[in-house]
Each structure stands twice: as structure tokens, then as C-alpha cells.
Amino acid sequence: MGILESITGPRDLDRLSHAELVQLAAEIRRFLITEVSKTGGHLGPNLGVVELTMAIHRVFDSPNDPIVFDTGHQAYVHKLLTGRQDFSRLRQRGGLAGYPQRSESPHDVVESSHASSSLSWADGISRSFSMTGQLSRHVVAVVGDGALTGGMTWEALNNISDDNSRNLVIIVNDNGRSYAPTIGGMARFLNGLRTRRSYRDLYFSSRKLADRLGSPAQALYRGLRGGLHGFLSRFTNNEALYSNLDIKYLGPIHGHDIAALEEALSQAKAYSAPVIVHVITQKGKGYEPALLDEADQFHAVGQIDPETGEPLDAPGSPSWTSVFAEEIVRLADVDSRIVGITAAMLRPTGLHKLAAKYPDRVLDVGIAEQHAVTSAAGLAFGGLHPVVALYATFINRAFDQVLMDVALHKAGVTFVLDRAGVTGPDGPSHHGMWDLAILQVVPGIRLSAPRDATRLREELGEAVAVQDAPTVVRFSKGSVGAEFDAVRRTHDGVDILSESDNRDVLIVTVGPMAELGLQVATRLADQGIHATVVDPRWVVPVPRSIIDLAGSHRIVISIEDGVRVGGIGTRIRQDLRAAGVDTPVTELGLPDEFLDHGSRSEIMEQVGLTPQAIARDLVAQVMGSTLPAAKTST
């Protein structure tokens, strides 16, 4: 049995020698490569924090000393060391979550995987310990260098530095990357520390020299290390960034030297005040395919061959992201006003192709969605048309900027929201289920939801043509799937996908729910119930033809992959009432709950968004109701 199998909790690490710790680190890397290659997940970030996580658990006493990960995709090693070693169903229903999850373990504190929030969490927790007399407890925040591009971290640092009486250790896990290489002035500063030879060669090489000379030299090294570190830190101006904040700084520390990490963390623990420990790690360490991947160093992978790193997924339909990536370049070719903005996710959102062709027309602002949106308003004022590409879950972070900076100023800004609706394995913090309900309250906004690749290209072109209001194009994660042509299109752009002379049910589908709507209509037809299926294409504002069609049917149902509370169905019902149309509306969508991780199909079945469930309920509603008789089209 290897050492890893004997680890049931953090205190099992205490008995291990340095040689055994090195062996354990190697075992953990082999385990991660083997297991994550089967299920997919965040591989590169976790390979980079093996020694760091081991050192944290050796020096601190979790869960008595809470550990907050920012973001949680670097917590796989933490899970292994806290007794969770069954990765067979990682990110699948019934298996381990891909992020910290309180229901799994008391060692997991913060579940959200939205970056740059850890220092605020740590500030609040440490203040609570001080205020309640729990003075022996420490709080550890592990924050990636990419998260330092987010404004929330600096808001937190400002407040943390205002009270130096707390046991708070901030570990900056600096690997030069968030998803992709970290950008901006902060990145340049940290990169200077990583690459400055006067510091790096003396500090990092000193231990290797001591190791070669044997135990007497190692003892001398440990004795001189503190003074050497302090001198070199001041000599190379490492503390300049934090000196005005009055926060103690230690580093940079070799992030794969367990002894050096333990020593630095022990110093930080004994300081009895907020301390920043700057740790340099290598994302993807120990796995050659990840190190050779310049795009993201295997940040997140699907099923892969563990030997080669090659994906095992069979080629299929193009992804929504790839369709957008190609179309935005085509549009930019003919419209020089189009510029792209992303928040540290150039490739995941599909803007990488635009950046490759027009590098001066794409801005990566780091993990700073609020800044991205307001900066876009400024770009629009200057005569450009910004396309802000984000995951749908992250638009929540910039709602005030969308409302007050873009919409209030009637700025022509297009928001492209990837991973909208149910995303699946990443769990509650990544489902893009709130955007429709949140954004439709913004005055003047126009929301579109393409059902297939053709409509994505079409609606994106329509969106960037709007110069006096915010526009939104949202689409799902994964493959685009089948095309669904319209029987006809109304004068205001609504696509009729299926209709009959008898009008029992009007099914209004949002985006990719068109396929589900057509499947429901087929099942209803088997029961003698006639349905019209429509795709509004632009769901907000509600097209007039939807109101007219509703008036000629016995019942209306809306199907959306967003939260149904305040969703598109609610908007349709309100607009019908305002127009004096009394046709009843049934609103189908996602419940106002945090949905656990699982496949998209499992979650859709869980919430009742399947052809069988919807058709069964509609048959009961139509057959057993006192609704007016079916209407006939003229």
C-alpha cells in the first residue's frame, strides 16, 4: 500500500518524514493524472499545488483553522488529504464535487468558485474569531495570482490592513496564470519577482546547495534563511507592493519545496497578524502534456489518455463557443468598430480567434467583470462596439454596471453569455441559470437566445448592429446539435417551428429548448392535442406576434433553461395581461434552488424538463380543464 492510501485526515501527515512527504507528493500527482483523465476536471491547477496543500495541512489544523480556496478548482489535493479519495465519479451525480462542498466535509468552508472572494471571506471569518475570543484559531486564504486582478481582493486587503490583530495568512499561489497567462500590471510585478536573477538565484539555489553539502549545511541554511530572506526581500523591493498596506510579506517561496513551504508558513503562523506568503508554483507540474500546453496548461480537461494527454472524446458537432468564435471574426472583418473584451477567459469564451487576427481589438481585463462592463461603456462612447464575452454565471457580478453604466447611458454593448442554462458537472456556482431573470429588468435591454448554429450567427449579427442599447446573446455549453428550420417567420422575427389549423397549445421555447418543445408537441399530437411551437429568437422585449398568437390559443406554456421565478415566462404573462389577453400561461423552467452537479440530462429530468413530464402535465391540464374549445386558424 502506498502512503496516500494511509492518509485518512490531515494529522496523518504529521508522522511522515521529509522523504515520505516527497514520495506522497509523487503519489498524489500519479493519482490525479490517472483519475482525472477518466472523468475530466481541473487537472493543471491541482498538479501545481500538491506540495503547497500538504504544507498547509502540516502547519495548520483544519478545520479548526479554516482554509479558504480562491478559486476552488485547486482543492482536489485538499480533498485527498481530508479523507476523500474516491474520485471515480468526480463531478458526476453522487460523486465528489469539483469544488469545495460543505456537505462533503467540515474541512470545506467556501463553496463558490467565483474568483477573488477569498480574502473577503477570510477577513470576515478572522474578525469573527477575534470578536468571539477564539484567539488561537488561524484563517488561511489560498488565492491564485490571477485572482489578484479582481477588485474585490484589493477591497479586502484595504480592510484587512486596517486591523493587524488577527491570525490571518494569505497565500498568493503565483503560477503566472489564472485560466490563461495572467495579464496587467499586477502580473508584470509578480513576474518580475519570479524572474529577477539576483533574488531567484540566491534564494532558490541556497537550499539545493545545502542539500548537496549535507546535514550541517542544512542546519546552517535554516539558521541563516530568515535573515537572508529579509535582506533579499528588501534588496529586491519585493515588499513595495504591500508596504503601504502595512501587511507583513514573506517570499517568494519555492512552491514545490515542502520544507521551505513549512518553514515560511510556520513563520506566518507565529506572526499573530495578517501575513502575505508569496509562493511560486508551476501549473501542471509533473505532467509533461500539461506543461507543453501553452493555451491553459490543462486547466480543465475532459476525458484524456493519461499517457499522451490527448482527448478521448469522439469528434462531434461544433460547440456553441466555436461557432461564436468564427462568426465574431467574420463580423469584425466587415465592421472595424467591433472589439472584444473578456475577463481572463480568452479561449474559453471563444475570443481567442479574434485576438489572433486582430490583437489590438481584444482586451483581456483579468478577473474583473465589473471593470470589463464599464470599460465597454466607455469604448461605446468613443465610437466602438464592444462585445463582452463572459460565462453566464459571471454576468451576475457586473449587474450594476450593466444597469447604470451601459443601459442608463444607452451604450451599444453586446454581451455574449457562454455556458447559459444548466451546465452540469461544475455545479451550482457555474450553472448559468440567473441571467434571463436578472437582465430582463434592465430598461431597454434586448435578449436573444439562439436555438442552433444558424440562429447564433444570425442573432449575433443583429446584436452588434444595435448602437443605442445593450444586447445579449446567450447560448449553452457543449455541442450545438441539430438545426431546426422555421415553417415561417412573422413580421417581427418570431420563428414558427410547428403549427396546425387547430390551436390548443402555444409552446414558446427559449433558445435550445426548441427541440424539447417540438418533442412535446409530437407527444401532444398523439393524444389529439394540437400545438404551435414558436421560437421568439429575441425573448426580451416580448415580440407583438407572441401576444397575438397567445390570444388565438387555449393555453400558453413557456419553456426556458433559466430560473422560472421572474423568467421569460413571467414576462410573457405580464405582457399578455397588459395587452388584455386572458389566455392562461404555464411557466416552465428551473426552480429557484441551487442545483447540484450532474449531467445536463440528469438535472433536466430532476427538474421535470423532459418531453414525457411536460406532455403528461399538459394532457391533464387540457383534457381536465374548463378552457375554451380549440380555436381554428383563419
What residues act catalytically? Answer: 283, 369, 397
C-alpha cell at 60: 495548520
615: nearest Cα among 486, 512, 529, 532: 529
User: What angle do the packed helices 215-235 and 258-270 form, to 10 degrees?
Assistant: 60
Count CB neighbours of 135 within 10 A. Answer: 11
Phi, psi of 171 (to 5 degrees): -100, 115
- CA 278/CA 336 separation, integer angstroms: 42
- CA 128/CA 117 separation, integer angstroms: 17
CA 438 to chain centre: 18
The arrangement of strands across the sheet holding 275-280 comes to 67-70, 139-144, 168-174, 275-280, 248-254
- CA 83/CA 10 separation, integer angstroms: 8
572: nearest Cα among 436, 475, 469: 436
460: nearest Cα among 350, 597, 541, 579: 350
C-alpha cell at 248: 507583513
The answer to whether 535 and 497 are in contact (CB under 8 A) is yes
- DSSP class of 227: H
Collapsed DSSP state (helix, strand, coil) of residue 280: strand
The answer to whether 80 and 108 are in contact (CB under 8 A) is no
User: Residue 23: enclosing H or E segment and its boundaries?
Assistant: helix 18-39
Phi, psi of 507 (to 5 degrees): -105, 115
CA 34 to chain centre: 24
Residue for grid cell 423568467: 567
524: nearest Cα among 479, 563, 555, 493: 555
C-alpha cell at 577: 395581461
**Bond preceding residue 181 cis, omega within 30 of 0:** no
Max CA separation in the chain (angstroms): 98
